[in-house]
Amino acid sequence: PYDVLVIGGGPSGASAAIYAARKGIRTGIVAERFGGQIMDTLGIENFISVKYTEGPKLAASLEEHVKEYNVDVMNLQRAKRLEKKDLIEIELENGAVLKSKTVILSTGARWRNVGVPGEAEFKNKGVAYCPHCDGPLFAGKRVAVIGGGNSGVEAAIDLAGIVKHVTVLEFAAELKADSVLQDRLHSLPNVTVITNAQTTEITGTDKVNGISYKDRETETVHHIELEGVFVQIGLVPNTDWLGDTVERNRMGEIVVDKHGATSVPGVFAAGDCTNSPYKQIIISMGSGATAALGAFDYLIRN
Ligand code: FAD
């Protein structure tokens, strides 16, 4: 059996695998797609100490760093079941069952898409998901935020300090965000809020030039000219396959303690699949290191 088996090969999983392997213990990593979300990321400017890099380049360095160590890398493999017996068993989609003394879950998350024409086409060409990451790219420009929940309104407040103008499009009749956030939003001079707005299309040529929405009351379609669209309708953790084996919160995120431990002894978790409040590369790498050290502590005590 493995001492530590990491499920997920994004920044958190790679970090966990390296920290585990450096303890000289038997380490494996299973990844559906090594690199994770950063494979879909173009410019990265907030990975501290690296002024600028690109997702696929960072993913290649992650893989290279992992391969410096004695880690079994099982890429293009998807875990579908976890079961705690004497050891922890992970069943893969291909039917193989891997056994380990500890497991680190680092299966990440995905942004919920609006699924309208133009969204996929203009991803990284004006359509963005992460205001912390991509906000500065729209300095002085006009943007829309789709979604009026906490993340959408936080994004709009954040962006209003950088961009020329922000339009918030909320599907429902009112914003869903906490009232302190709504008050803050309404105090900003360069923000317009449109409720009952169903986004119908993101328009553009080689990059975004506008957004169309249907007013759900009057059934009329409107078009706004702008340069960027931030989709903020939720981040979905890749944790469905866990069922009720480990405790998850109402958003489906795995609940971890300060050591990265989950509700199941020997099972740890890190990165965007957990209830960590902020989802960023540097944060997920830190939590991967924490989970590996937590798992090592667990191994020497059991
Ligand atoms: P992920 O990167 O999601 O990796 C999850 C891994 O688990 C993948 O290898 C996946 O294939 C695998 N996996 C999932 N399910 C299974 C399964 N059942 N079995 C096996 N493997 C599985 N952050 C920044 O700090 N700066 C940025 O500029 C930035 N830009 C971003 C731009 C975009 C478009 C996106 C989508 C995200 C961006 N982020 C950015 C966020 C950042 O990418 C994430 O916070 C980070 O990748 C989280 O790492 P993770 O390892 O927790 O999860």
| Domain-located, residue 118 | no
**Ligand 1 pocket member 271 (CB < 6 A):** yes
What's the average model confidence in pLDDT over 74-87? 97
Q: Which domain holds residue 143?
A: 127-231
Per-residue pLDDT reduced to its tens digit, 252-262: 999 999 999 99
User: What band does 212 get if pLDDT is binned at 50, 70 and 90?
Assistant: very high
The answer to whether residues 218 and 240 belong to one domain is no
The answer to whether residues 222 and 244 belong to one domain is no
Q: How far apart are CA 245 and CA 263, in angstroms?
A: 9
Determine if residue 140 is labeled as part of a ligand binding site.
no
The answer to whether residues 294 and 275 belong to one domain is yes
**Ligand 1 pocket member 195 (CB < 6 A):** no
The answer to whether residues 161 and 183 belong to one domain is yes
| Domain-located, residue 122 | no
User: What band does 220 get if pLDDT is binned at 50, 70 and 90?
Assistant: very high
The answer to whether residues 134 and 162 belong to one domain is yes
Tell the residue nearest (CA) to atom 8 of ligand 1: 36
**Ligand 1 pocket member 53 (CB < 6 A):** no
| Domain-located, residue 178 | yes
The answer to whether residues 144 and 63 belong to one domain is no
The residue to which tokens 């989709």 are assigned: 231
Pick from 191, 199, 188: nearest CA to 229: 199
Ligand 1 mean position, distance from CA 202 (Å)? 25
The answer to whether residues 85 and 159 belong to one domain is no
- ipTM, 2 decimals? 0.99
| Domain-located, residue 116 | no
DSSP element (H, E) containing 14: helix 11-21
- Check if the beta carbon of residue 52 is closer than 8 Å to that of residue 44: yes
User: What band does 37 get if pLDDT is binned at 50, 70 and 90?
Assistant: very high
Mean pLDDT (the chain, rounded): 97
The answer to whether residues 195 and 246 belong to one domain is no
Boundary of a domain, candidates 188, 209, 231: 231
Per-residue pLDDT reduced to its tens digit, 131-143: 988 999 999 999 9
**Ligand 1 pocket member 33 (CB < 6 A):** yes
* CATH number for 164: 3.50.50.60
Q: Which atom of ligand 1 is nearest to the CA of 282?
A: 25
Determine if residue 3 is labeled as part of a ligand binding site.
yes
Boundary of a domain, candidates 231, 254, 270: 231
State how many domains the chain has: 2
| Domain-located, residue 121 | no
pLDDT at residue 40, rounded to an integer: 82
Q: How far apart are CA 223 and CA 203, in angstroms?
A: 9
Q: What share of the chain has pLDDT > 70, as a percent?
A: 100
User: What band does 200 get if pLDDT is binned at 50, 70 and 90?
Assistant: very high
**Ligand 1 pocket member 285 (CB < 6 A):** no
Tell the residue nearest (CA) to atom 34 of ligand 1: 41
Pick from 235, 236, 255: nearest CA to 245: 255
The answer to whether residues 11 and 80 belong to one domain is yes
β partners of residue 231? 146
The answer to whether residues 249 and 196 belong to one domain is no
> Best mutation site among 7, 19, 32, 38 for ligand 1, i.e. most ligand atoms within 8 A of its Cβ?
38
> Got the DSSP string for 104-121?
EE---EEEPP---TTTTT
Q: What share of the chain has pLDDT > 90, as a percent?
A: 97
**Ligand 1 pocket member 59 (CB < 6 A):** no
User: What band does 91 get if pLDDT is binned at 50, 70 and 90?
Assistant: very high
Q: How far apart are CA 111 and CA 130, in angstroms?
A: 9
Ligand 1 mean position, distance from CA 186 (Å)? 33
The answer to whether residues 102 and 136 belong to one domain is no
Determine if residue 14 is labeled as part of a ligand binding site.
yes
Asked if pLDDT for residue 211 goes beyond 80, the answer is yes
Q: How far apart are CA 81 and CA 101, in angstroms?
A: 16
Asked if pLDDT for residue 42 goes beyond 90, the answer is no
Determine if residue 149 is labeled as part of a ligand binding site.
yes
The answer to whether residues 224 and 239 belong to one domain is no
Asked if pLDDT for residue 47 goes beyond 80, the answer is yes
Strands (E), 55-128: 71-75, 79-84, 88-92, 97-105, 109-111, 127-128
Boundary of a domain, candidates 231, 260, 288: 231
Determine if residue 271 is labeled as part of a ligand binding site.
yes
User: What band does 90 get if pLDDT is binned at 50, 70 and 90?
Assistant: very high
pLDDT at residue 21, rounded to an integer: 98
